[in-house]
Amino acid sequence: MIEILLKNKQSFKAKSVDELTVSELDFQVMQFLDYSPSELNWLEENYQLDFTILKHYEDIEISSHFLENENQAAFHFSIPYFTNDKKMIEEPLFIIISGAGLFLFSSSNLDRYINETYPSKINSLRRLSNLKGIFKFQFEFISDHFADITEYLSRKIKALANEILIEKEFTSNVMDVITQYNFNNLLIKEAMIETRRVLRLYLKSDWEEKEELKEDIKNELNDLAAISDYIQFNFDRLDDLKENVSNKIDLEQNHIFKMLTVVTVCISLPTFIAGVYGMNFVNMPELKTEFGYPIVLIAMICSAILPFLYFKKKKWL
């Protein structure tokens, strides 16, 4: 799927590049969803774009995140987001700016999430009249997205902390929830580190001299630095919650072990007495005692009650 925003602020969609005529395309933005090799070849032939960054984006080298030449500047951003089942994943977003216009490459799932989550921002993008403003909008949008998703995760962690620390209630799967939140927070942090790295590289690039967005990019870097503090706070809070839950589990286990000890002692002494007088040897004078049976019963009851009272005095119960 191809979505095109024209310079006259009109937009339309095309299913393939076969529906497009280069000479008639007076566009600002061209977005490719679930792009294919044939579409990339079409762009290479008609707009002389270099797609090295798309082909090697999983590498850790700097050139896999930001790459520029005389004709274009290419960016790779990792965008974390929540799926419909509240599971966080990340997908790549590629931005290429050239003299011809702005080119975006992403999956249809990521595009659907953005359209559903930020409809007002998408509408404001369509109202922008120049390529520089649209290019600037992309950086602002990514920074705002990191702020929004971090804020959402912070609210979830705060609610969990309230449940555990204040209401003192938690379910058996709370450790799994903490681990999931920790993973989500780590995913956001990793993606944001990459984003800050790309923006810093762009500030040093020759392409920045053409667009003159240095102050805007610095503002976005400052915003991302502030978001980073919240991410670190989330890590600290999750570590505190994990330690608190572990301590509560240990206390519960100790209480269970104490109860098992009390029950074992209270049962073992009567069992011992019953075992002694259940051996039925011939020379057992107690067997001929007239009140032997009730005496033994009383002894068994006392042997069960006395340990119980002892442990209760020791506050084990």
Q: 303: domain CATH number?
A: 1.20.58.340
Beta carbons within 8 Å of 131's beta carbon, 6+ residues apart: 28, 97, 101, 102
Measuring CA to CA, how many Å separate 91 from each of 14, 82, 87, 109?
Answer: 23, 11, 13, 9
Write the pLDDT tens digit of every residue in 172-193.
677 788 888 888 999 999 888 8
**Which residue range(s) make up the domain with 68?**
1-117
Whether residue 181 is contained in a domain is answered as no
Measuring CA to CA, how many Å separate 71 from each of 41, 46, 97, 210, 269?
Answer: 17, 13, 9, 11, 90
Whether residue 175 is contained in a domain is answered as no
Q: End of a domain among 82, 117, 152?
A: 117
pLDDT-based confidence at residue 169 (cuts at 50, 70, 90): low
- Rounded CA gap, 103 and 30, in Å? 5
**Which residues is 76 bridged to in the sheet?**
94
Write the pLDDT tens digit of every residue in 188-210.
998 888 888 888 888 888 777 77
49 versus 8: the higher-pLDDT residue is 49
Q: End of a domain among 100, 117, 134?
A: 117
Measuring CA to CA, how many Å separate 31 from each of 18, 190, 229?
Answer: 15, 25, 33
Q: End of a domain among 75, 96, 117?
A: 117
**Where is average pLDDT lowest: 65-69, 138-142, 256-260, 285-289?**
285-289
Q: What strands lie across the sheet with 27-33, from one edge to the other?
A: 11-14, 2-6, 27-33, 102-106, 88-98, 72-82, 66-68
- Rounded CA gap, 32 and 51, in Å? 13
Whether residue 127 is contained in a domain is answered as no
Mean pLDDT score of the chain: 80
Beta carbons within 8 Å of 36's beta carbon, 6+ residues apart: none
Beta carbons within 8 Å of 31's beta carbon, 6+ residues apart: 2, 3, 4, 5, 103, 104, 105, 106, 111
